[in-house]
Amino acid sequence: MKAVVAGASGGIGQPLSLLLKACPLVDHLSLYDVVNTPGVTADLSHISSVAKIEGFLPADDGMKKAFTGADMVVIPAGIPRKPGMTRDDLFKINAGIVKGLVEGIAEHCPEAYILVISNPVNSTVPIAAEVLTNAGKFNPKKLFGVTTLDVVRAETFVQAITGAKDPADTKIPVIGGHSGETIVPLFSQAKPEVKIPEDKLDELTKRVQFGGDEVVKAKDGAGSATLSMAYAGFRFAERVMQAAKGKSGIVEPTFVYLPGIEGGDAIAKETGCKYFSVPVELGKEGAVKANNPLGMANEYEKKLLQACYEGLKGNIEKGVEFVKNPPQK
Ligand SMILES: NC(=O)c1ccc[n+]([C@@H]2O[C@H](COP(=O)([O-])OP(=O)(O)OC[C@H]3O[C@@H](n4cnc5c(N)ncnc54)[C@H](O)[C@@H]3O)[C@@H](O)[C@H]2O)c1
Ligand SMILES: O=C(O)C[C@H](O)C(=O)O
């Protein structure tokens, strides 16, 4: 398994690269960034784990060298929020960064699983899909928007109510997109079942939807979630790698192009959104089946879902348009 981190020198990139370097599923770790990869690579190279490590900058065909032969590319490249910004405010800069990196993937490692972390995920994943489509290389089963941090937050925040010893023992599907009201935690479908007192549900739901803002505010201008994101990004990447190596029964919420995945068409029709995060069954081919949790949502969650659909459609369209009708320079 050759794994690439694109944006490896950043706040997420460095701890994510550390986790991948320490992971026995990774044989070869390749770090790519526009700055500082020599230092990050030298540092991580002293860790006595199995993964061989290399680092590249754009010069001297660095992207080609970094990407060629990759089985998985994780993309945390791009600017993070500062207080007062929405994720959509990042679009102007990050859309072009993701487009350029995915063009490189289409050219040098089109078979790789692509895990997009860069925000706004609701738009950067459609950008990636359009770029791959234009290159004739789009495999919807291998393109994932990483929404695992929303799941991790839901598991963590609900613990105050369940009192569970290990928060990750409570499985909560978080579906929709990855920003504000497009994030929809389905506490009614938690396993094992959780009973949320009615007067706590709004607060808990909002905390999951706006957990990112909590961190942005606390960091006070120094960026957004990096360490918890590296944990979440690694957790998802590890599941993808386990499935690639033949482990069965892995289901994870992730933001995918629904019409390209078994079971996805019905969800796309019901939501009016071609891209949506739902629990997806992972296999060797990538996303093999989209599970539909919509029918089991309760009345409270159905209202959340209506708001989600409205916001998400515009975000998706903006990403698609960025590639179809590029902005004039
Ligand atoms: N999906 C999620 O749940 C989630 C969670 C947290 C953060 N994010 C997003 O992840 C992104 C990165 O956040 P961060 O805190 O690590 O930012 P950061 O600024 O610390 O790091 C970004 C890195 O990307 C690199 N970079 C910029 N352009 C590049 C290019 N063309 N090719 C390769 N590398 C490039 C930068 O040099 C930098 O090292 C942001 O967009 C942030 O909003 C997403
Ligand atoms: O909030 C952000 O901008 C970063 C990330 O999307 C998060 O959810 O923490």
Domain ranges in the chain?
Answer: 2-145, 148-316
Instruction: Summarize pLDDT for 217-229 with one digit per residue, the tens.
Output: 999 999 999 999 9
71 alpha carbon to ligand 1 midpoint, in Å?
A: 21
Fold classified for 2-145 = Rossmann fold (3.40.50)
Which pLDDT score is estimated for 328?
85
How far away, in angstroms, is 52 Cα from ligand 2 center?
Answer: 31
Q: Is 46 a catalytic residue?
A: no
pTM: 0.98
pLDDT at 131: 98
pLDDT tens figures, 231-259: 999 999 999 999 999 999 999 999 999 99
Q: What is the pLDDT of residues 194-224, one digit of tens each?
A: 999 999 999 999 999 999 999 999 999 999 9
Whether residue 178 lies in the annotated active site: yes
Higher per-residue confidence, 100 vs 162: 100
Per-residue pLDDT for 300 more than 90?
yes
Residue 69's pLDDT band (cuts 50, 70, 90): very high
- pLDDT given at position 265: 98
pLDDT at res. 279: 98
CA of 225 to the centre of ligand 2 (A): 6
ipTM of this complex: 0.99
Cβ-in-10-Å burial (0-12, 13-18, 19+) of 79 comes to: middle
Tokens of 81: 């929020």
Q: Are strands 143-145 and 52-56 parallel, antiparallel or unpaired?
A: unpaired
Write down the mean pLDDT value for the chain. 97
**C-alpha span between 292 and 212 (Å, rounded):** 26
Q: Sort strands 143-145 and 113-116 into parallel, antiparallel or unpaired.
A: parallel
pLDDT band for 152, please (50, 70, 90 cuts).
very high
Could you tell me if 255 and 275 are in contact, meaning their C-beta atoms sit under 8 angstroms apart?
yes
**Is 9 near ligand 2, meaning CB less than 6 Å away?**
no
Check pocket membership of 30 for ligand 2, CB cut-off 6 A.
no
Report DSSP state, residue 172.
-
pLDDT in tens, 82-117: 999 999 999 999 999 999 999 999 999 999 999 999
CATH class of 148-316: alpha beta
Q: Across residues 8-19, what is the average pLDDT?
A: 99
Q: Which string of DSSP letters, residue by residue, matches 137-166?
A: ---GGGEEE--HHHHHHHHHHHHHHH--SS
| Rounded Cα–Cα distance for residues 136 and 230 (Å) | 31
**Residue-wise burial string across 176-195, b where 16 or more C-beta atoms lie within 10 A, e elsewhere:** bbbbbbbbbbbbbbbeeebe
From the list 152, 73, 51, 83, the residue with the least C-alpha distance to 117 is: 73
> What's the helix, strand, coil split of the chain in %, to 5?
50, 15, 30
Query: 169, 178, 202, 265: which is the annotated catalytic residue?
Result: 178
Q: How many helices (H) and strands (E) does the chain have?
A: 11, 11
- The binding-site residues of ligand 1, defined as CB within 6 angstroms of any ligand atom, are 6-7, 9-13, 32-35, 76-81, 90, 94, 97, 100-101, 117-119, 121, 146, 149, 178, 223-226, 229
Measured CA to CA, the distance from residue 119 to residue 125 in angstroms comes to 9
pLDDT at res. 329? 73
Mutate to test the pocket of ligand 2, among 12, 75, 81 (most ligand atoms within 8 A of CB): 81
Ligand 2 mean position to 273 CA, how many Å? 22
The angle formed by the CA atoms of residues 75, 127 and 216, to the nearest 5 degrees, is 55
Q: What is the DSSP string of 40-77?
A: HHHHHHTS-SS-EEEEE-STTTHHHHHHTT-SEEEE--
